[in-house]
Amino acid sequence: MAFFNSAVGVLQTLVIALGAGLGIWGVVNLMEGYGNDNPGAKSQGMKQLMAGGGVALIGTTLVPLLAGLF
């Protein structure tokens, strides 16, 4: 059981890191879009930023609930 709980902790860390990376990538695209006055890059950056926030939110709220399954 301790192995499963530690695996959930590792999974939570990985999901949050993935979300943070996606969010940072979105911020870079957003800044690039504003710098070059490119509406396509601004749109893509905003989508990536919001997706990264959503993935990080899932990592902080839903993944810890896996520990209570067993």
Give the domain ranges of the chain.
15-62
Residue 28: predicted pLDDT? 96
User: Any idea which residue has 């996606």 for tokens?
Assistant: 22
Per-residue pLDDT of the chain (70 residues; tens, 9 = 90+): 788 889 999 999 999 999 999 999 999 999 999 999 999 999 999 999 999 999 999 999 999 998 888 7
Under 8 Å between Cβ of 20 and 12: no
Token pair, residue 57, equals 């939110």
What is the rounded distance in angstroms from the CA atom of residue 56 to the CA atom of residue 70? 24
Under 8 Å between Cβ of 24 and 52: yes
Query: Hey, is 61 helix, strand or coil?
Result: helix
What is the rounded distance in angstroms from the CA atom of residue 19 to the CA atom of residue 32? 20
